[in-house]
Amino acid sequence: MVAENILRIKQEIGQNVDLVVVSKYRTIEEIKQVYDAGMLHLAENRVQALLERKEALPDNIKWHLIGHLQTNKVKYIAPFIHLIQSVDSFKLLEEINKQGLKNNRVINCLLQVYIATEDSKFGLSEEELYELINHPQISEFKNINITGLMGMASNTDNIAQVEKEFKQLRHYFDHIQTLNLFPHFQTVSMGMSGDYLLAIQCGSNMIRVGSKVFE
Ligand SMILES: *Cc1c(COP(=O)(O)O)cnc(C)c1O
């Protein structure tokens, strides 16, 4: 089933949108099916789970972190992480840069923006986002590569609301691109199992899908 689900989703989204499979809460056996179907981009929301899974699965998997990251845990993932999608503070960026330097790596990061109406979600407000990208020290961080934005829409049946939030994130992305602050700024990560088609219509080019892959 997993292989068929992946094939179907890939056909739906086309070549210009990247699919990242969210493997959180799944067993190693289930995740192996994803790997065997040829998917190498996997995402976890917790550092501990990510480390356990990395240990148990093949080395060529490209791991993404999509959950809140505490600065004291950056060191555990810095040696191998492919993309940290959940950067939400200057302090965190500073630590990622420091650990990147220690590991002789440039670590790819997305800035997580808070676009939902619920207050339980992490992410930068509009004001914090612009404050962060304009921080004078950011250009000195040689061991991070800010490649785009990530956001989660409200968990609601109100499609108009979700659409508004996705369009807002895309708007931030387009605006930041015009500022030419980051040479590799190209990713808009938005859309999950319930809303990825809408997200793509609103300008997403990376979706993070869990339940729809494993159902
Ligand atoms: C769990 C999670 C997803 C995937 O959710 P599904 O609805 O299972 O597709 C995507 N993004 C983030 C940040 C998540 O925590």
The answer, yes or no, to whether any atom of ligand 1 lies below 6 A from the CB of 45, is yes
The answer, yes or no, to whether any atom of ligand 1 lies below 6 A from the CB of 210, is yes
Mean pLDDT of 137-161: 96
Give the distance (Å) from ligand 1 centre to CA of residue 192: 6
pLDDT digits (tens, 9 = 90+) for 50-100: 999 999 999 999 999 999 999 999 999 999 999 999 999 999 999 999 999
Residues with Cβ within 8 Å of residue 99, at least 6 apart in sequence: 74, 75, 78, 107, 143
The answer, yes or no, to whether any atom of ligand 1 lies below 6 A from the CB of 211, is yes
Domains of the chain: 2-214 (3.20.20.10)
Mean pLDDT of 8-22: 97
pLDDT for residue 62? 98
Residue 118: pLDDT over 80: no
H-helix or E-strand spanning residue 175 = helix 159-179
pLDDT for residue 122? 83
40 C-beta neighbours (distance < 10 Å), count: 14
Nearest CA to ligand 1 atom 6: 210
Mean pLDDT of 101-129: 92
Answer yes or no: pTM beyond 0.95: yes
Mean pLDDT of 27-52: 98
Q: What is the residue-averaged pLDDT of the chain?
A: 96
Q: Which amino acid is at 88?
A: D
Mean pLDDT of 112-117: 93
Mutating to test ligand 1, I would choose from 30, 34, 45 the residue with most ligand atoms within 8 A of its C-beta, which is 45
Q: How confident is the model at residue 199 (pLDDT cuts 50, 70, 90)?
A: very high
Phi, psi for 202 (deg, rounded to 5): -90, 5
Q: How confident is the model at residue 120 (pLDDT cuts 50, 70, 90)?
A: low
The answer, yes or no, to whether any atom of ligand 1 lies below 6 A from the CB of 158, is no
Give the distance (Å) from ligand 1 centre to CA of residue 66: 8
pLDDT for residue 196? 98
pLDDT for residue 200? 98
140 C-beta neighbours (distance < 10 Å), count: 9
The answer, yes or no, to whether any atom of ligand 1 lies below 6 A from the CB of 213, is no
Atom of ligand 1 nearest to the CA of 85: 13
Q: 3-state DSSP call for residue 9?
A: helix
pLDDT for residue 137? 95
Residue count (the chain) = 215
Nearest CA to ligand 1 atom 12: 66
Mean pLDDT of 23-50: 98
Give the distance (Å) from ligand 1 centre to CA of residue 38: 20
Give the distance (Å) from ligand 1 centre to CA of residue 140: 33
Residue 119: pLDDT over 90: no
Residue 121: pLDDT over 90: no
pLDDT digits (tens, 9 = 90+) for 150-172: 999 999 999 999 999 999 999 99
Give the distance (Å) from ligand 1 centre to CA of residue 209: 6
In angstroms, rounded to a whole number, what is the distance separating the alpha carbons of residues 36 and 15? Answer: 20
